[in-house]
Structure 1
Amino acid sequence: MTDSNRRTFLRGAGLLGAGAAVSTVLGSPAAAATGHHRPDSGGRRFSIAVLPDTQYLFDADRCDPAPLDATLRYVLDDDNVVFLAHLGDLTENGQPGEMEQISRSFQALDRRRFPYSVLAGNHDIKSSTDDQRGRTPYLDAFGPQRFRTSPTYRGSTKDGYNSYHVFRAGGREWLVLAMDWRPSSGGLAWARDVLAKNPHLPAILTIHEFVSADTGEAQLSDFGKQVWEQLVAGNDQIFLTLNGHFWPPGRTVLRNDFGHDVHAHITNYQDRYYGGSAMIRLYEFDLDRGVIDVRTFSPWLADKSRLNEMEKQEVERTGTADYFSLEIDFDKRFAGFAPVPVPPARPARQVLLPGTLAYWRFEGADGAAAESVRDLSGRGNDLTRVIMPGSDAKALTFSKEFWGRQPSRASLRFDGGKNKGAYLKTVDSAPLNREMFLRGYTIEAFVKMPADFKNGQHAWAGLFGRLGSGANAGKTGDDPSEPAATLSLSDGAGLQWAVFPVNQAGISTNWSHELAVDRWWHVALVNDGFRTTMFVDGCPVVRNPKTPAIGLASPGSSWVLGAYAYNRVVEQSFYGWVGDVRIVGRPLRERDFMLGS
Structure 2
Amino acid sequence: MRGGAPDRQVVRKIHVWFAGRCRGLPSIPPMTTRRTFLLGTGAAAAGTLVATTATAPASAEPETRSARPDADRDRFTIAVIPDTQYLFDQDRGDAEPLDAALRHLVNRTSADNIVFTAHLGDLTENGSKSEIEDVGRSFRALDRRRVGYSVLAGNHDLDSRTDDQRGRTPYLDEFGPRRFRDSPTFRGASPDGYNSYHVFRAAGREWLVLALDWRMSDKGFAWARGVLARHPKLPAVLTTHEFVHAGGDGKAELSDYGRRLWEGLVKDHDQIFLTLNGHFWPPARSVLTNAAGHDVHVHITNYQDRYYGGSAMIRLYEFDLARNTIDVRTYSPWLLGKRSLNTLERREVELTGDADRFSVPIDFEQRFAGFAPVPVRPERPVRQLLVPGTVAYWRADSLKDLSGNGNDLRQVGTLTATTEHHRDSPSRASRFFGKEGYLSTVDSAPLNRLTFERGYTVEAFIKLPAGFDHPWCGLLTKLAPGAAAGKTGDDPKEPLCTLNVAGGGGLQWAVFPKNRDGMSTNWGHELAEDTWWHVAVVNDGRHTKLYVEGSELLRNPSTPATGIATAGDPWLVGAYAYDRIVEKSFHGWLGEVRIVDRALPTERFLTAR
One-letter amino acid matched to 1:436:
T
Per-residue CA distance 1:158-213 (angstroms, 9 max, x = gap) = 22222111111221111001111122233223212211110010100001112222
Partners in 2 of 1:415 and 1:252 — Cα distance? Answer: 43
1:263 aligned residue (297, 320, 323): 297
Contact 2:427–2:592 (CA<8 Å) still a contact in 1? no
Alignment of 1:450-461 (within 5 A): 450=465, 452-454=466-468, 456=469, 458-461=470-473
Partners in 1 of 2:451 and 2:137 — Cα distance? Answer: 75
Deviation of 1:87 (Å): 0.5
One-letter amino acid matched to 1:438:
E
Contact 1:411–1:578 (CA<8 Å) still a contact in 2? no
Contact 2:602–2:608 (CA<8 Å) still a contact in 1? no
Partners in 2 of 1:592 and 1:102 — Cα distance? Answer: 54
1:581 aligns with 2:581: no
2:101 aligned residue (49, 71, 74): 71
Partners in 2 of 1:567 and 1:238 — Cα distance? Answer: 60
Number of residue-to-residue matches in the alignment = 552
Partners in 1 of 2:588 and 2:272 — Cα distance? Answer: 35
State the match for 1:379 in structure 2: 405
State the match for 1:445 in structure 2: 460
Deviation of 1:482 (Å): 3.0
Deviation of 1:346 (Å): 3.7
Partners in 1 of 2:141 and 2:378 — Cα distance? Answer: 47
Deviation of 1:88 (Å): 0.8
Deviation of 1:234 (Å): 1.4
Contact 2:251–2:286 (CA<8 Å) still a contact in 1? yes
Alignment of 1:562-573 (within 5 A): 562-573=574-585
Deviation of 1:440 (Å): 2.4
State the match for 2:438 in structure 1: 423
Alignment of 1:52-71 (within 5 A): 52-71=82-101
Aligned Cα root-mean-square deviation (Å): 2.3
Per-residue CA distance 1:315-370 (angstroms, 9 max, x = gap) = 111222212222322222212211222443444333322222112233x4xxxxxx
Question: 106-115 or 235-244: which moved more?
Answer: 106-115
Residue ranges of structure 2 left out of the alignment (5+ in a row):
1-53
Question: 522-531 or 423-432: which moved more?
Answer: 522-531
Contact 2:271–2:371 (CA<8 Å) still a contact in 1? yes
One-letter amino acid matched to 1:326:
V
Partners in 1 of 2:266 and 2:585 — Cα distance? Answer: 48
Alignment of 1:42-441 (within 5 A): 42-79=72-109, 80-214=113-247, 215-362=249-396, 364=397, 372-387=398-413, 392=414, 395-404=415-424, 406=425, 408-417=426-435, 420=436, 422-441=437-456
Contact 1:440–1:550 (CA<8 Å) still a contact in 2? yes
One-letter amino acid matched to 1:401:
H
Partners in 2 of 1:396 and 1:570 — Cα distance? Answer: 20
| Pair 151,588 (structure 1): closer, same or farther in 2 beyond 3 Å | closer
One-letter amino acid matched to 1:397:
A
Partners in 2 of 1:519 and 1:378 — Cα distance? Answer: 31
Equivalent pairs: percent with the same residue?
Answer: 62
Deviation of 1:12 (Å): 8.1
Contact 1:89–1:120 (CA<8 Å) still a contact in 2? yes
Secondary structure in structure 1 of the residue aligned to 2:577: strand
TM-score by length of 2: 0.85
Question: 468-477 or 561-570: which moved more?
Answer: 468-477
| Pair 333,385 (structure 1): closer, same or farther in 2 beyond 3 Å | same
Contact 2:379–2:428 (CA<8 Å) still a contact in 1? no
Contact 1:483–1:565 (CA<8 Å) still a contact in 2? yes
One-letter amino acid matched to 2:56:
A
Contact 1:155–1:163 (CA<8 Å) still a contact in 2? yes
Secondary structure in structure 2 of the residue aligned to 1:53: coil
Secondary structure in structure 2 of the residue aligned to 1:447: strand
Residue ranges of structure 1 left out of the alignment (5+ in a row):
1-10, 23-29, 365-371
Contact 1:400–1:409 (CA<8 Å) still a contact in 2? no
Partners in 1 of 2:501 and 2:218 — Cα distance? Answer: 58
Partners in 2 of 1:571 and 1:126 — Cα distance? Answer: 80
Contact 2:480–2:496 (CA<8 Å) still a contact in 1? yes
Deviation of 1:485 (Å): 1.7
One-letter amino acid matched to 2:241:
H
Partners in 1 of 2:252 and 2:504 — Cα distance? Answer: 38
Contact 1:385–1:424 (CA<8 Å) still a contact in 2? yes
Per-residue CA distance 1:43-62 (angstroms, 9 max, x = gap) = 32221110000011011221
Contact 2:421–2:532 (CA<8 Å) still a contact in 1? no
Partners in 2 of 1:508 and 1:41 — Cα distance? Answer: 42
Contact 1:443–1:525 (CA<8 Å) still a contact in 2? yes
Secondary structure in structure 2 of the residue aligned to 1:92: coil
Contact 1:89–1:122 (CA<8 Å) still a contact in 2? yes
Per-residue CA distance 1:19-73 (angstroms, 9 max, x = gap) = x1x3xxxxxxx49x7xx97322223222111000001101122121111111111
Contact 1:453–1:575 (CA<8 Å) still a contact in 2? no
Contact 1:39–1:82 (CA<8 Å) still a contact in 2? yes
| Pair 252,585 (structure 1): closer, same or farther in 2 beyond 3 Å | same
Per-residue CA distance 1:410-454 (angstroms, 9 max, x = gap) = 23131412xx3x22221221111122223322211122223x143
Contact 2:417–2:432 (CA<8 Å) still a contact in 1? yes
Secondary structure in structure 2 of the residue aligned to 1:89: coil
Question: 63-72 or 325-334: which moved more?
Answer: 325-334
Alignment of 1:531-570 (within 5 A): 531-570=543-582
Partners in 1 of 2:233 and 2:225 — Cα distance? Answer: 13
State the match for 1:13 in structure 2: 56
Partners in 1 of 2:557 and 2:506 — Cα distance? Answer: 16
Partners in 2 of 1:469 and 1:453 — Cα distance? Answer: 31
Deviation of 1:111 (Å): 2.6
Deviation of 1:113 (Å): 2.4
Partners in 2 of 1:86 and 1:545 — Cα distance? Answer: 53
Contact 1:476–1:505 (CA<8 Å) still a contact in 2? yes
Contact 1:37–1:114 (CA<8 Å) still a contact in 2? no
Question: 96-105 or 136-145: which moved more?
Answer: 136-145
